[in-house]
Amino acid sequence: MTNPLKRARNETTDESDTSTIKITECTRHSDVWFDDGSIVLCVEKTLFRVHRTILCSHSEIFSDMFSLPRPLDEHMIEGCPVAWLSDRACDVEHLLKAMYDPFFRPTLMSTDQLEGVLRLSTKYEMPTFRQECISYITSCFPSELSDFDDPPPRPSCFWAVTMARECDILEILPCAMYLCAREPPRVIIEGGDGDSRNCLSQGDQNLCWEAREQLAHMAESEVFSFLYRFQPHSECQAANKCRSGARGIIRIFYETNRIYPYGRMEALRIEDFSIYGKSVCGCCLTAMRTSHHTGRQVVWAALPNLFGLGSWNNIFPPDLTESLSDG
């Protein structure tokens, strides 16, 4: 692993270049400055005074970094050595605040905070913080359909895809990519939440375009096949009435743009069957619910493949848990 401190000093190409920053141009962070701290982190033009032992207890990368021989021309502030990091100051602020907060919970954080802690806990190999962030994000972008139907408030799916690619969180990609792909084309191109950092890569945009075709097809052939290929239930006593009822519902779908409401492809939409009762008999309604449920499961199972990830088994190899517990 490259020493991040060394890398920080050598980078000369972007605004995170630390070699030209003068200590006199930097300002102390208003909160993260402990008078009894033992090391000063210089990030962009912000100084954080913290405890070396705390950093090292969370991260072997920091531990290795601080065990290196100290350079002769090392900067010192109030007796503390200065370490330059090539990160974003806001990310470092969020990570340090999480480290010093015994009640740290990703669920209580803003997306910016979550992003900072996830990004740096990945970079500096802090398994506890990384896992806590991932647990929360996977609850928002789950791998089970039942969890998808009842998620906590979700951050932007475009943000989630960007972070999943950057921090290698494959398991959230099928769900997050689906949520991106169902958006109208303009939103897919521009990134949805108005933050240009969260725009999908060209490769991910292409995956969305391809998946939309398949999702539209599956919405008709799987999820809503009970309407498009309506067959009265074997015990139906009013087949003609139910046939015309099903046709009426399709007409309403088109009239109210419910297949593509505002251009949005909703293959996994939860359907409200309460309105169907007036159009078809009880037997047919029960069969419709079952067919819809099965269709959604088919779409869910296909999501990883739609986005170039193989199957769910590729993402969660079935033998991994067993071989780990065996070993």
Q: Is 236 in the site for Zn ion (CB under 5 A)?
A: yes
Among 114, 126, 188, 242, the residue binding Zn ion under the rule CB under 5 A is 242
**To 10 degrees, what angle do helices 282-306 and 173-181 make?**
110
Site string for Zn ion, 264-283 (x = CB under 5 A): -----------------x--
Pick 116 or 245: Cβ nearer Zn ion: 245
Pick 189 or 252: Cβ nearer Zn ion: 252
Contact set for Zn ion, span 5-24 (CB under 5 A) = none
Query: What are 81's strand-pairing partners?
Result: 76
Pick 202 or 234: Cβ nearer Zn ion: 234
Pick 99 or 236: Cβ nearer Zn ion: 236
Contact set for Zn ion, span 297-316 (CB under 5 A) = none
Pick 286 or 297: Cβ nearer Zn ion: 286
**At closest approach, how far in Å is the CB of 243 from Zn ion?**
8
Query: Which residues have a Cβ under 8 Å from the Cβ of 131 and sit 6 or more positions away?
Result: none
Measure the CA angle with vertex 44, ends 39 and 49; round to 5°.
Answer: 20
Q: Is 288 in the site for Zn ion (CB under 5 A)?
A: no
**At closest approach, how far in Å is the CB of 240 from Zn ion?**
9
Site string for Zn ion, 191-230 (x = CB under 5 A): ----------------------------------------
Pick 47 or 242: Cβ nearer Zn ion: 242
**At closest approach, how far in Å is the CB of 233 from Zn ion?**
6
Q: Contact at 8 Å (CB) between 180 and 205?
A: no
Residue with tokens 């505002």: 262
Contact set for Zn ion, span 131-170 (CB under 5 A) = none
**Rounded to an integer, what is the distance from CA 51 to the centroid of its chain?**
31
Among 98-106, 149-157, 237-245, 301-309, which window interacts with Zn ion (CB under 5 A)? 237-245
- Binding residue count for Zn ion, defined by CB under 5 A: 5
Q: Contact at 8 Å (CB) between 265 and 182?
A: yes
**Rounded to an integer, what is the distance from CA 42 to the centroid of its chain?**
29
Residue with tokens 């928002």: 140
**At closest approach, how far in Å is the CB of 245 from Zn ion?**
8
Q: Is 246 in the site for Zn ion (CB under 5 A)?
A: no
Query: Which residues have a Cβ under 8 Å from the Cβ of 160 and sit 6 or more positions away?
Result: 137, 140, 141, 154, 172, 176, 179
**At closest approach, how far in Å is the CB of 298 from Zn ion?**
24
Pairing of strands 76-77, 27-33: unpaired
**At closest approach, how far in Å is the CB of 297 from Zn ion?**
24
**At closest approach, how far in Å is the CB of 236 from Zn ion?**
3
One-letter amino acid identity for 52?
R
Q: Which DSSP state fits 317? A: -
Please say whether the dihedral angle defined by the alpha carbons of residues 67, 168, 106 and 93, taken in this order, is positive or negative: positive
Among 5, 157, 181, 284, the residue binding Zn ion under the rule CB under 5 A is 284
| Nearest Cα residue to 224 out of 235, 233, 215 | 215
The backbone torsions φ and ψ at residue 117, rounded to the nearest 5 degrees and listed phi first, read -70, -40
CA dist 215 and 210 (Å) reads: 9
- Residues in contact with Zn ion by CB under 5 A are 232, 236, 242, 281, 284
